[in-house]
Structure 1
Amino acid sequence: METVAAVVVTYNRLADLKKCLDTLREQTRSLDTIFVINNGSTDGTEEWLATQPDLRVTTQANLGGAGGFATGIDTAYKAGYTWLWCMDDDCLAAPDALANLLNSPNLGPCIKNSMSVSVNSRDELAFFVDRPNVSYRKVSDMAGLDLIYGVASFFNGTLVHTDVVKVIGIPDKELFIWGDEVEYMTRAQKMGFPVVTVPSSVFYHPASFDRDGIPWPAAWKQYYAVRNQRRVLQNQFGNTLGRVLFASWATKATLQQAMSKRTNRFYNFLLYGEATLDSLTNNFRKRPDTIRTLQLYKRNHK
């Protein structure tokens, strides 16, 4: 009999976490267990989780989404579950989301993702997908399709078969945030596992935003999106070509920041440059408090 464990990663969003867990407890296909990885929350999350006997909780230092899912997937995999259903704490699952994933066409060991719908605009996708010959922006763009190959919004209702984990391992905690989920998806594709979205399975999530437009000081998150992109390209194109493509893309993107009309473009330029250099020199050790551009910004904006 196939078993399913949910893996939920949370950090300082207790109200969102409670809503997310309520939707998991109300699934028409009941979960066999729910793992919650608490990334060192300081908002009362740890104390509240201690009062929830149906949850299997791990509390650790804040290792970002990458570190949270690395711990969660590793824990659930070692516990012997057939499928691992992974999500952030700000996701809301439709009542039949899990049942529809499991009842979708059998692809063998694979990764199946729920369709991510904007929580604020139920006719719009939370994450736009643009392909050479097709774009997915509205729910209607996906409606009526059984499976959409090569499209998935990790980790928002992402159902991973245990055999996939056995081959590709767990997410790389060194990536911290932003790009770790894409790296994991492309790693699975590189090893030949199908990655699909199942439109009949619905997840609600806050809509994506223009990352380049994040105001400072929160723009430090973009550092990880740039730095981690090299790993994604190397999964897709091989180590040598991927590295060359990253250097070309990152150089162009860094110069574009310098020429943009955005506020704080100087810091954006420095941030992109720092991320590019760190990626090319394989420096994946930095955490937010050691990003030099952020340190400079904070010194100049006391």
Structure 2
Amino acid sequence: MSVEHGSGFDPATATIAVVTFNRSPLLTRLLESIERMDPKPGHVVIVDNASSDDTTDVVESFRERVGTEIVYRRLETNTGGSGGFSEGMRVAYELGSTWIWLMDDDVEVLPDGLASMGRWAPRFKSIQGRRYDYDGSEFYWQYRIADRMGIPIPFAPAGFDESGFKEMNSGCFEGMFIHRDIVARIGLPDPRFFIYWDDQLYGWLASRITTSVIVDEFVLRRTREIKQWDMGIRHMNASSDAYRYYIMRNRAHIKRYYRELGVYNPALFGIGTALTFGKEIIRLLVVERKAGGTRHLFRGLRDGRRIAKDRSWRPMPPLGPVQVTEPTP
């Protein structure tokens, strides 16, 4: 590895922002892993998407034991992962955090995870670490997208050279480590996505103004098993009817961003949408072994056309100067 620990990173300036919804056992495992971290971040922000389980009690039970400040935000309604991460980043930004580390509740942090990410902080401002899958294998994440089609490149090389990093033009909120300067320029994640495509788009926006990288550092481990189809080199996960709907509907939001930034190519983007639709059909038939979910794909396309025609639609704005607030319980 060519990058050593340096003096350009202070762990206390980092905030872990977690989004959770009705998965208190998984959140417990994550908080236990943060308790074991060395070093620890300055804050842990937990955004609760209106859970109906014992999430609040779990959070309170860790206040005195996790070893860093917990800031808990329980939302009135479920805003999806997109809304949760938007709120989590907003809170972290207003706390004055220099670095914001986003993650779902179904991972745990390796004890030296923050130190590993900090190795790269002096060089880059948009960083993705690596993850172990539920079974301990190396989890492959599609870090490159076909720019004009707006879809992941499934067979981008998985290996690293001696530099220890690869440039990416995407993002994943399960482990995105991003500098406040980038957040200020591109704004908060767009809550209108609810779920799906939001992190890919956000990472793509970041890569347009800074060198974004995935680094050869294992920092997270997934703690939830997901049904998969083993394709040999890659896996295809099972999905849900809600995901199918938003996968297709949110193509319209991506289209609007592309248009605003002057990179929209109707033919290439249309191919990307068609390939996405086809991939979801394969997922239904091969992984989940059913056909009934196709109506949710069509429903998503239908509602996406309304978004595409909405004259009031605007992209998320950049953030202006923000007054730093003190952590609150």
Considering the TM-score relative to the shorter chain, is it more than 0.5?
A: yes
SS in 2 for 1:114: strand
Residue in 1 that maps onto 2:15: 5
TM-fit CA distance, 1:133: 7.9
Map 1:59-208 → 2, pairs under 5 A = 59-60=74-75, 61-104=77-120, 106-108=122-124, 110-122=125-137, 124-127=138-141, 134-136=156-158, 141-142=159-160, 145-150=163-168, 154-190=172-208, 192-205=209-222, 206=224
Please provide the CA RMSD for this pair. Answer: 3.3
Residue ranges of structure 2 left out of the alignment (5+ in a row): 1-8, 64-68, 145-152, 230-234, 311-329
- Note the C-alpha offset of 1:72: 0.5
1:169-212 residue CA offsets vs partner (Å, 9 max, x unmatched): 1111010011111111111123x222211212421125774698
Normalising by structure 1, what TM-score? 0.78
Partner Cα distance (1:150, 1:255) in 2: 25
Structure 2 vs 1, CA of residues 134 and 158 (structure 1 numbering), >3 Å: closer, same or farther?
closer
AA aligned opposite 1:279: G
- Return the TM-score normalized by structure 2: 0.72
Does residue 234 of structure 2 align to residue 220 of structure 1?
no
Match of 1:296? none
Q: Take 2:26 and 2:55, find their aligned partners in 1: how far apart are those partners?
A: 11
Structure 1 residues 152 and 174: CA distance shift in structure 2, 3 A: closer
Q: What is the CA–CA distance in structure 2 between the aligned matches of 1:260 and 1:159, rounded to whole Å? A: 30
After superposition, the C-alpha distances for 1:11-63 in whole angstroms (9 at most, x for unaligned) are: 11111111111212222222111110011111211222233324210000210
SS for the counterpart of 1:65 is helix
Tell me, in whole angstroms, the C-alpha distance in 2 between the residues paired with 1:232 and 1:178: 11
Moved more, 196-205 or 84-93: 196-205
Equivalent pair of 1:148/1:198 in contact (CA under 8 Å): yes
**Deviation (angstroms), 1:277:** 2.5
Alpha-carbon shift at residue 252 of structure 1 (Å): 5.9
| Offset of residue 224 of structure 1 | 1.0
1:272 aligns with 2:297: yes
Contact kept? 1:37, 1:72, Cα under 8 Å: yes
From the superposition, tell whether residues 284 and 40 of structure 1 become closer, same or farther in structure 2 (CA, over 3 Å). Answer: farther
Quick one: structure 1 residues 284 and 94, their matched pair in 2 at CA, closer, same or farther if it must change by over 3 Å? farther
Aligned length in residues: 275
Alignment partners' CA distance in 1, 2:250 and 2:83? 14
- 1:235-275: CA deviations, max 9, x gaps? 5685573455344443565578789993543541x322221
CA 1:22–1:127: 2 relative to 1, 3 Å: same
1:278 is displaced (CA, Å) by 1.8
Alignment of 1:253-292 (within 5 A): 254=277, 262=285, 264-265=290-291, 267-268=293-294, 270-282=295-307
Is the Cα contact below 8 Å between 2:242 and 2:296 reproduced in 1? yes
Q: Report the Cα offset of residue 231 of structure 1.
A: 3.8
In the TM superposition, what whole-angstrom CA distance separates every residue of 1:117-174 from its partner, at most 9, and x where no partner exists? 212133x2253567598432xxxx3485521210665112221100011001111101
Alpha-carbon separation, structure 2, partners of 1:278 and 1:219: 15
1:143 and 1:23 map into 2 onto residues whose CA distance is 30
Change in CA separation of 1:25 and 1:271 when aligned onto 2, cut-off 3 Å? same
Give yes or no for contact 1:5–1:81 (8 Å, CA) kept in 2. Answer: yes
2:61 match: secondary structure: coil
Equivalent AA in structure 1 for residue 141 of structure 2:
F
Select the structure that is richer in helix.
1
CA separation of 1:105 and 1:59: change in aligned 2, threshold 3 A: closer
2:51 pairs with 1:41: yes
Distance in 1 of aligned mates of 2:162 and 2:102: 24
